[in-house]
Amino acid sequence: MAREKQRLWLTFDSSVCQRPLIWEMSRRFDVVFNIRNASVTKEIGIIGLELEGEPEILKEAIQWLETQGVQVEPVEVGTIEG
């Protein structure tokens, strides 16, 4: 199956700001990640993330992030610098 890339905005609050969620996701799922943009404080985190992998695995990884309290939104073309 062909690999694909997805660009996403991840937003999360203080309840998960201290966890290494992207690292946890990459250990659980066969995905490659590239942090394109980030602003993380103790209160809120906003990350522009590029994920690459098999489409079904990407879907599972995104669903896992959502179950961890992360709001996941697709990026519109041209809105992540880099």
Instruction: Give tens-digit pLDDT for 9-45.
Output: 999 998 888 889 999 999 999 999 999 999 988 899 9
82 within some domain: no
What pLDDT band is residue 79 in, cutting at 50, 70 and 90? very low
3-class SS at 1? coil
Domain that holds residue 21: 4-74
55 within some domain: yes
Instruction: Give the per-residue pLDDT at 45.
Output: 92
CA 4/CA 24 separation, integer angstroms:
20
Q: Would you put residue 53 in left (φ > 0), alpha (ψ -120 to 50) or beta?
A: left
Buried b (16+ CB within 10 A) or exposed e, 20-32: ebbeebbeebebe
Number of domains in the chain: 1
Q: Quick check: 82 pLDDT over 80? A: no
Q: pTM for the complete prediction?
A: 0.85
50 within some domain: yes
Which domain CATH number covers 65?
Answer: 3.30.70.260
